[in-house]
Homo-oligomer: A and B are copies of this chain.
Amino acid sequence: MNTITCPIPVQEREHIQLAHGGGGKLTQELIETIFYPAFKNDILEQEHDSAQIAMPGGRIAFTTDSFVVDPVFFPGGDIGELAVNGTVNDLLCSGAVPQYISVGFIIEEGFAINDLKKIVQSIADAARKANVKIVTGDTKVIERIHGNQIYINTSGIGSIPESVALSPKNVKHGDSVIVTGRIGEHGICVLSTRNSLGFETDIKSDTRSLNEIVRNLLKDIPQTRVLRDPTRGGLSSTLNEIAHTAGAGIEINEEALPISKGVESACELLGLDPLYIANEGILLVFVPGEYEKQALEIIRNSEHGADAMPIGKVIPDPAHRVYLQSAFGGKRVVEVLSGEQLPRIC
């Protein structure tokens, strides 16, 4: 039997080994010394294979997202925080109250254990901020490539209040389109940290969970049509999806788009369109036109909503397209992203 217990040299204890994913002693050590202390909660402490959760009857939202962002640390956040916020925001977009999150790690052999600890702490902090519990998890280890990669899957559950009925199918002509914050921050931030790209900015990722905006909005405006987080593919993809499902056109005004000087300059420099850049901490909100003013006030008075802007409206259009009214008076069709503007953005 080949399970000889060797003393592990010091340098080996500082990096992930294949055996950390083997289901034996080292896996248990990771769980007991790193994961449990950071994620501590009553459900996790049951130590079952599955989390056992008491739920009231009714609708729940269930979502999953894997994160492969490169680099794993970037200005304004890291892959751990991103993984929690992304799944929390997906639940929020269903109108659910985010409650329980699972975390699945796939870690490259040779990954620094100190980096893992930082990421785990970010996950714990982001979960606390978003008021969700990490209740179940899994760890696998793959052979070394560069020794600096970790992939994280988060799945999440939340209960949907009975009054909520969000759907792109509800969207109607005359609806107002609001974006809750400045666009393009996450995408340009990750782009600027890729060594080979040779430009630097002080732009930070906008990764954050948007619980307060959604809670306040749905409380006061139950007529809200749909909420979406325009992540990969940027505003253009999300707007096109909604137009397609709603069977309507959407017209947005270039001048109304909230965009920082930094993102604007970076886009000009690189020949990129901010409508195609990924976001992590903003939402697109569709409300009936008559609620625009009230919605805007609610969002601007909520955490992370100060830069909210009404950016356009839903129009009749048999082609179900998205149009951009440019600052110079022209109008063009905003197509769905057809290539990959920047891989491994989230």
Query: Nearest residue in B to A66 (C-beta to C-beta)?
Result: B104
How far, in angstroms, from A21 to B237 measured CA to CA in the complex? 13
A22 within 8 A of B: yes
How far, in angstroms, from A153 to B336 measured CA to CA in the complex? 27
Decide if B339 touches A19 in the complex (CB within 8 Å). Answer: yes
How far, in angstroms, from A168 to B32 measured CA to CA in the complex? 18
Give A37-61 as 1s and 0s: 1 = Cβ < 8 Å from B's Cβ atoms: 0000000001111111111111111
A130 within 8 A of B: no
A10 within 8 A of B: no
Tell me the minimal C-beta distance from A263 to chain B in angstroms.
15
Tell me the minimal C-beta distance from A46 to chain B in angstroms.
8
A24 within 8 A of B: yes
Decide if B24 touches A64 in the complex (CB within 8 Å). Answer: no
A96 within 8 A of B: yes
Query: Nearest residue in B to A343 (C-beta to C-beta)?
Result: B18
Q: Which residues of B contact A229 (CB under 8 A)?
A: 49
A90 within 8 A of B: yes
Closest CB pairs A-B (n = 7): A23-B232, A24-B337, A23-B233, A57-B57, A155-B155, A19-B340, A64-B102
Tell me the minimal C-beta distance from A144 to chain B in angstroms.
11
Decide if B106 touches A106 in the complex (CB within 8 Å). Answer: yes
Query: Nearest residue in B to A273 (C-beta to C-beta)?
Result: B1
A151 within 8 A of B: yes
Interface SS majority for chain A: mixed
A140 within 8 A of B: yes
Q: Which residues of B contact A90 (CB under 8 A)?
A: 49-50
Tell me the minimal C-beta distance from A6 to chain B in angstroms.
8
CB under 8 Å from chain B, chain A span 30-89: 46-68
Decide if B271 touches A94 in the complex (CB within 8 Å). Answer: no
Q: Which residues of B contact A273 (CB under 8 A)?
A: 1-3
Q: Which residues of B contact A335 (CB under 8 A)?
A: 3, 5
A214 within 8 A of B: no
Decide if B143 touches A343 in the complex (CB within 8 Å). Answer: yes
A211 within 8 A of B: no
